[in-house]
Amino acid sequence: QSVLTQPPSASGTPGQRVTISCSGSNSNIGNNYIYWYQQLPGTAPKLLIYWNNQRPSGVPDRFSGSKSGTSASLAISGLRSEDEADYYCAAWDDSLSGRVFGGGTKLTVL
């Protein structure tokens, strides 16, 4: 199982707001930045959020990130069909001296 814990699935209807959680510990989320990735089917992952809540250029402001203690969350507002993808959280883990990912959340747009 993954060091970071995400729900395996999430869903919403077009226009809705959905959130995806990511839970860790003091050695990873609690002490380091969280990153979020979007992976569309058959493609490489794409950075969606860096430094807990910052968006790279080109990422719509419908995507937002937050962090509190040893947990983080990704929010997607104004849900669109093209948001249907797998979403992963990641952080450096000081105890493991390596990067750790969440198990991924499959988002379905109903």
Partner 1 sequence: EVQLVESGGGLVQPGGSLRLSCVGSGFTFSSFSMSWVRQAPGKGLEWVAHIKQDESEKYYLDSVRGRFTISRDNAKNSLSLQMNSLRAEDTAVYYCVRDFSSGDSHEYWGQGTLVTVSS
**Applying CB under 8 A, which part among 18-26, 61-69, 73-81, 98-106 lies near partner 1?**
98-106
How near is the Cβ of 101 to partner 1 at its closest, in Å?
A: 5
For residue 3, give Cα distances in angstroms to 63, 64, 77, 105: 24, 22, 27, 14
The 10 Å Cβ neighbour count of residue 14 is 11
Q: Which of 57, 109, 55 is nearest to 85 (CA)?
A: 109
Name which position in 14, 26, 40, 99 contacts partner 1 (CB under 8 A). 99
Q: Does the protein bind partner 1 through residue 98 (CB under 8 A)?
A: yes
Q: How many residues can be counted in the chain? A: 110
Residues that bind partner 1 (CB under 8 A): 2, 35, 37, 39, 44-47, 50, 54, 56-57, 86, 88, 90, 96-104
